């Protein structure tokens, strides 16, 4: 049982928004993609994925639609909304600022 | 962005609430879709289906927990929890129907009384003008040293309207006056209410007539040229059955034909609280109506008969408008030093006008509101006590809930939901009670508003009052629920689970309950004090200075302006009227007076300078209330002349001017000297001298509370158009009505008789019954408060006794006398009552001071009131404690020890 730590928790929203900005996806596809792009570094439990998606949906950042998958099964596809795109921009900018600040600190050469 | 966000999420929440099952299904389906894929993936990797399934579920970290987490994300928990709590609360309340009913009834009394009283306060103070954007309609008043709410003259109105820049329009109107209305030229005129208004009146207020049109500017420019009238909506429906063809028709007002050009809006009954004009006429037609004949309305800057209102320009503050008008008033003072000396002007908001200092009605409203809120407070504390006792029987249940992991906050919410439901029951019943009380108020229309003019009681149970009731309901839910909820969730778990009666002995538990009783006793003592004080001051006001005659008097008023009489014609009419009435059989004496004592109309005020009295430097004159009467007045009204003489037939217009003052006036201006023979000068120290020829007994003319300085002038020397005929009869005064009608018909068949009544009845309604309504209202609050306090104290002592039954039994078994037990149990109650009484006395003094400063001019403390109220309260509450204490002293030890 690995509860993602706070940093990861905070960035999960960002990852999901970014992923959905590229194309609408259903939950299973998201979980596969999460694993392939960051599986070794970030441990995102499948269990915490769905609550996170629901939260984003309730915030109005992503919207859901039931559609057929390629092999003809009904699945809930999530896609980014207009205000979600704004949210993504602001969160991405935040992340940039934070990570550059931290790397700046980390790269300070010890004397 | 924010708005868009809100819109988006609101629809999602709504979906989660309204389509709960659908949303749940989708949740399941989505997770199943994921699991199936995961299982397929596992099988493809070579796991058995069972293993694959197990792995898939494990990856989820507990399916049900996740689902619950996702439900939390919907943010409608508060609602679903609330619904669950409500269902549970209703079930548990239904199990104790008696308690539920009594709690709901107690709250209903408090909420009902308060909402009914709020309807008074709202009508008197808060209800906005019935026009669009009522908030920026302000009122302009002229101010002098004696009168902060004086009227303006027509000339001043034109100046103000022309020179101010703060407003989107300045309007003027005169007070509603009696108008003689006849539908055709032959018909005998009937009395209706008419209002003179400036041409822009409807336009500036934003209430253009519903039918036809408002006045054009040119109809208000030349005096007497455009005889046009706008009808009030209610009058139009009554008199013309809502016929739209009334436009263009002629109606006769005060003997002059007017053309109907419009009908006012249904929702615009006028700007006043009580009166609703039947007619609106342009100011230019003032000559036809009841303006001062002696003065020239259109030219005389001292003929002050107009109210001025205005609509503030957007962005202009009241303060800016006030400054502008103050400067203008200074200009007036410079330009007309004689007329406008020490006269200022200011601008008031709607609220400031409604809470004007010289109006007593709203002050009563505020006092009623304070008392009604106190009743509600007593009711809430009472209910809180009942709920505490109820919580005691549930200690076990609450302990179990806490033990299996319910949060304290969650339990408080559950208990608060219960009190909310109780309060809602009480609120519903309270609205019914409030509705009844408001209807009861309205039945007093003919007592409070005795006039032939169109008026109505403004109190009603409207949306605003209902909203207030809702707020009161929520407030009482909080007041009566919070203490029990906090206290009963503080249970000691171990003890709570162990014993059936899980009440933990100790001071902390009882503290809240005792505080509640002290609060009840003190607030209801205050209520009783207030009602008793009010009763006493009305009694004394109804007795002192009211020694004049009231019985066997018929009153009826005339206004010959209604048929266009000149001053000479008017004088002749009154002379003949009095002469002929004197000769009528059954008439003992006859008099004419401008106003009757303690009537509805205000007396005129007279500006004067008494000779020999040092006048302060900053003053031009003094003002006194006055009445114009004829020679029979003092005899007919039974008012004694203490010195000098009454008026005589020889005090004619050609004779030297004379006046009679009341004793208070004489003592005020000529202390220690004889007033008879002194002179007063009218308006200023260089004005017309008038000799005082008599001093009359001081009576209360204007207000029942305090008599005032008063001057009487003879009608022959001070002609007044509108006079009231007073007839002293041998028998029933109303039997003289026909004789008066006959005499008036011989003089002028077109002249209507106004406000024909028995003076005794009029006086009773105005000075006795009206105030008595207030006493009844406040008295019933006092009684309700007392009953609730008695019930509360009884509850607490009884509760104590039942809690200590076993202990008392042991004491008795060990040899305690029943008297000792009685004393021990009563002692507690006694202490609570004593504390409540002390606090209640302080509250009582505070409320007495408040009432004195607001309505009754008397200072000082009414000791008698306290001597009656305090022992009464004490006795009643002691009795409430005695009954259960006596029961305790009779406990049989064998029974008590077997108890439980």
- What are the residues whose beta carbons fall under 8 Å from the beta carbon of B601, sequence distance 6 or more? B595
Q: Is the pLDDT score of B329 beyond 50?
A: yes
Does residue A26 sit at the B interface (CB-CB below 8 Å)?
yes
Nearest chain A Cα distance for residue B403, angstroms: 29
Residue of chain B minimizing CA distance to A51: B70
Q: Which residue has the tokens 């020829």?
A: B693
CB of A59 within 8 Å of any CB in chain B?
yes
Q: How far apart are CA B1 and CA B787, in angstroms?
A: 57
Dmax (CA) for chain B in angstroms is: 133
Asked whether B493 and B403 are in contact (CB, 8 A), the reply is yes
Instruction: Note which residues in 80-109 of chain A have CB less than 8 A from chain B.
Output: 81-83, 86
How far does the CA of residue A80 sit from the closest CA of chain B (Å)?
Answer: 13
A43 in contact with B, Cβ within 8 Å: no
The whole-angstrom distance between A73's CA and the closest CA on chain B is: 9
pLDDT for residue B642: 93
Residues A74, B33: C-beta atoms closer than 8 Å: yes
Q: How far A18 CA lies from chain B's nearest CA (Å)?
A: 19
pLDDT classification of A1: cutoffs 50, 70, 90: very low
Inter-residue contact B347 to B757 (CB < 8 Å):
no
Which of A28, A31, A51 is opposite residue B69, by nearest beta carbon?
A: A51
Q: What is residue B636's predicted lDDT score, i.e. its pLDDT?
A: 92
- Measured CA to CA in angstroms, residue B94 lies from B101, B421, B473, B850 at distances of 10, 12, 20, 44
**Through-space distance between the first and last CA atoms of chain A, rounded to whole angstroms:** 41
Calpha distance B55→B826 (Å, rounded): 72
Interchain CB contact of A45 with B (< 8 Å)? yes
Rounded Cα gap, residues B7 and B3, in angstroms: 6
Highest mean pLDDT among B30-39, B310-319, B485-494: B310-319
Distances (CA, A) of B585 to B581, B589, B739, B742, B898: 8, 11, 9, 13, 89
**Of B158-162, B270-274, B483-487, B652-656, which range is least confident?**
B483-487
Please report the ipTM that was assigned to this predicted complex: 0.84
The pLDDT score that the predictor gives to residue B318 is 94
Residue B380 in tokens: 């809430």
- CB neighbour list of residue B808: distance below 8 Å, 6 or more residues apart: B801, B821, B825, B888, B891, B896
H/E stretch holding B710 reads strand B710-714
Q: What is the pLDDT of residues B72-123, one digit of tens each?
A: 777 677 777 888 888 988 998 888 888 888 889 989 999 999 999 999 899 9
Q: Are B688 and B681 in contact (CB under 8 A)?
A: yes
- The residue with greater pLDDT, B163 or B445, is B163
Looking at the DSSP bridge assignments, the partners of residue B713 are B628
Radius of gyration of chain A (CA): 16
Query: In whole numbers, what is the pLDDT of chain B averaged over residues?
Result: 86
Strand spans (E) along B264-312: 279-282, 304-312
B44 to chain A nearest CA, in Å?
A: 15
| Chain A interface disruption, residue of B8, B11, B12, most A CBs within 10 A | B8
Distance CA B314, CA B873 (A): 56
Distances in Å between the Cα of B712 and the Cα atoms of B593, B641, B709 are 10, 12, 10
d(CA B423, CA B478): 9
B779 CA: distance to closest CA in chain A (Å): 57
Q: Which residues of A touch B4 (CB under 8 A)?
A: 82-83
Residue B734 has pLDDT above 80, yes or no: yes
Residue ranges of chain B whose CB lies within 8 Å of a chain A CB: 1, 4-5, 8-9, 12-13, 26, 29-31, 33-34, 37-38, 59-62, 65-66, 69-70, 72-75
Which ranges in B733-817 belong to alpha helices (H)? 737-747, 759-763, 770-803, 805-813
Beta partners for B152? Answer: B306
CA-based angle B92:B95:B101, to the nearest 5? 95
Question: Are B70 and A48 within 8 A, CB to CB?
Answer: no
First to last CA, chain B: 65
């Amino acid at each position: 049982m690995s509860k993602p730590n706070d940093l990861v928790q905070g960035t999960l929203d960002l990852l999901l928004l970014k992923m959905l900005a590229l194309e609408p996806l259903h939950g299973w596809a998201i979980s596969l993609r999460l694993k392939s792009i960051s599986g070794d570094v970030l441990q995102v439990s499948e269990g915490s994925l769905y609550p996170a998606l629901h939260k984003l949906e309730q915030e109005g950042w992503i919207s859901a639609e039931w559609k057929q998958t390629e092999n003809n099964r009904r699945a809930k596809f999530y896609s980014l909304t207009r205000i979600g795109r704004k949210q993504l921009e602001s969160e991405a900018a935040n992340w940039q600022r934070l990570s550059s600040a931290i790397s700046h600190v980390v790269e300070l050469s010890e004397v | 962005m924010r708005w868009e966000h809100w819109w988006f999420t609101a629809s999602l929440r709504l979906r989660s609430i309204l389509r709960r099952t659908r949303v749940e299904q989708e949740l399941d389906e989505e997770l199943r879709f994921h699991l199936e894929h995961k299982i397929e993936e596992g099988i493809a990797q070579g796991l058995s289906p069972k293993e694959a399934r197990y792995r898939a579920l494990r990856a989820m970290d507990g399916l049900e927990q996740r689902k619950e987490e996702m439900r939390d994300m919907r943010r409608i928990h508060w609602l679903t929890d609330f619904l669950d709590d409500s269902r549970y609360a209703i079930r548990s309340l239904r199990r104790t129907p008696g308690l539920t009913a009594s709690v709901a009834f107690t709250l209903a009394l408090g909420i009902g009384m308060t909402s009914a009283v709020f309807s008074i306060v709202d009508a008197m103070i808060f209800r906005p003008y019935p026009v669009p954007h009522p908030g920026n309609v302000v009122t302009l008043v002229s101010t002098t040293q004696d009168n902060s709410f004086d009227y303006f003259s027509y000339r001043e109105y034109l100046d103000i309207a022309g020179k101010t820049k703060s407003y989107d329009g300045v309007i003027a109107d005169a007070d509603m006056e009696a108008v003689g209305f006849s539908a055709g030229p032959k018909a005998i005129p009937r009395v209706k209410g008419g209002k003179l208004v400036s041409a822009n009146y409807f336009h500036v207020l934003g209430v253009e007539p519903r039918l036809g049109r408002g006045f054009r500017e040119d109809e208000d420019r030349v005096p007497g040229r455009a005889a046009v009238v706008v009808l009030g909506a209610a009058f139009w429906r009554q008199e013309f059955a809502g016929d739209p063809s009334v436009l263009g028709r002629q109606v006769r007002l005060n003997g002059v034909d007017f053309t109907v050009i419009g009908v006012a809006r249904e929702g615009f009954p006028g700007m006043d609280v009580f009166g609703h004009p039947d007619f609106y006429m342009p100011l230019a037609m003032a000559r036809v109506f009841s303006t001062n004949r002696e003065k020239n309305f259109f030219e005389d800057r001292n003929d002050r008969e107009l109210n001025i209102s205005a609509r503030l320009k957007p962005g202009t503050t009241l303060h800016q408008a006030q400054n502008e008008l103050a400067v203008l008033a200074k200009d007036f003072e410079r330009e007309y030093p004689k007329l406008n000396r020490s006269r200022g002007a200011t601008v008031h908001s709607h609220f400031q006008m409604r809470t004007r200092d010289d109006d007593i009605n709203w002050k009563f409203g505020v006092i009623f509101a304070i008392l009604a809120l106190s009743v509600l407070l007593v009711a809430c504390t009472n209910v809180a006590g009942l709920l505490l006792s109820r919580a005691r029987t549930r200690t076990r249940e609450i302990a179990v809930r806490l033990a299996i992991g319910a949060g304290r906050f969650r339990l408080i919410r559950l208990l608060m939901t219960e009190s909310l439901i109780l309060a809602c029951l009480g609120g519903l019943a309270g609205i019914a009670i409030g509705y009844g009380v408001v209807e009861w108020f309205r039945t007093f229309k003919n007592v409070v508003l005795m006039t032939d003019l169109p008026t109505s009681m403004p109190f009603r149970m409207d949306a605003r009052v209902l909203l207030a009731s809702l707020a009161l309901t929520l407030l009482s839910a909080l007041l009566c629920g919070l203490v029990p909820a906090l206290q009963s969730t503080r249970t000691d778990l171990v003890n709570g689970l162990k014993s059936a009666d899980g009440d933990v002995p100790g001071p902390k538990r009882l503290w809240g309950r005792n505080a509640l009783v002290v609060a009840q006793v003190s607030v209801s003592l205050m209520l009783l004090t207030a009602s008793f004080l009010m009763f006493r001051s009305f009694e004394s006001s109804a007795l002192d200075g009211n020694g004049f005659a009231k019985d066997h008097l018929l009153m009826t008023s005339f206004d010959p302006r209604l048929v266009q009489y000149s001053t000479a014609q008017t004088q002749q009419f009154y002379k003949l009227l009095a002469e002929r009435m004197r000769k009528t059989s059954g008439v003992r004496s006859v008099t004419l007076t401008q106003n009757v004592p303690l009537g509805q109309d205000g007396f005129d005020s007279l500006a004067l300078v008494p000779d020999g009295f040092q006048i302060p430097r900053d003053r031009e004159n003094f003002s006194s209330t006055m009445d114009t009467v004829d020679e029979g007045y003092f005899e007919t009204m039974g008012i004694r002349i203490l010195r000098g003489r009454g008026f005589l037939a020889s005090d004619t217009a050609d004779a030297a001017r004379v006046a009679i003052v009341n004793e208070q006036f004489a003592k005020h201006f000529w202390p220690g000297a004889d007033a008879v023979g002194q002179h007063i000068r009218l308006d200023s120290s260089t004005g017309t001298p008038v000799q005082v020829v008599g001093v009359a007994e001081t009576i209360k003319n204007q207000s029942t509370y305090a008599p005032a300085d008063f001057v009487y002038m003879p009608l022959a020397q001070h002609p007044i158009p509108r006079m009231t005929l007073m007839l002293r009869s041998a028998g029933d005064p109303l039997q003289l009505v026909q004789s008066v009608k006959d005499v008036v018909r011989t003089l002028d068949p077109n002249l209507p008789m106004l406000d024909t009544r028995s003076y005794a009845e009029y006086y009773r309604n105005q000075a006795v019954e009206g105030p008595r309504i207030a006493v009844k209202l406040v008295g019933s609050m006092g009684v309700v408060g007392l009953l609730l306090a008695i019930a509360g104290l009884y509850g607490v002592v009884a509760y104590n006794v039942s809690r200590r039954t076993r202990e008392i039994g042991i004491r008795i078994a060990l040899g305690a006398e029943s008297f000792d037990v009685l004393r021990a149990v009563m002692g507690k109650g006694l202490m609570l009552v004593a504390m409540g009484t002390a606090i209640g006395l302080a509250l009582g003094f505070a409320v007495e001071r408040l009432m004195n400063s607001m309505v009754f001019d008397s200072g000082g403390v009414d000791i008698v009131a306290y001597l009656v109220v305090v022992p009464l309260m004490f006795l009643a509450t002691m009795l409430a404690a005695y009954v259960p204490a006596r029961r305790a002293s009779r406990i049989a030890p064998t029974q008590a020890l077997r108890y439980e």
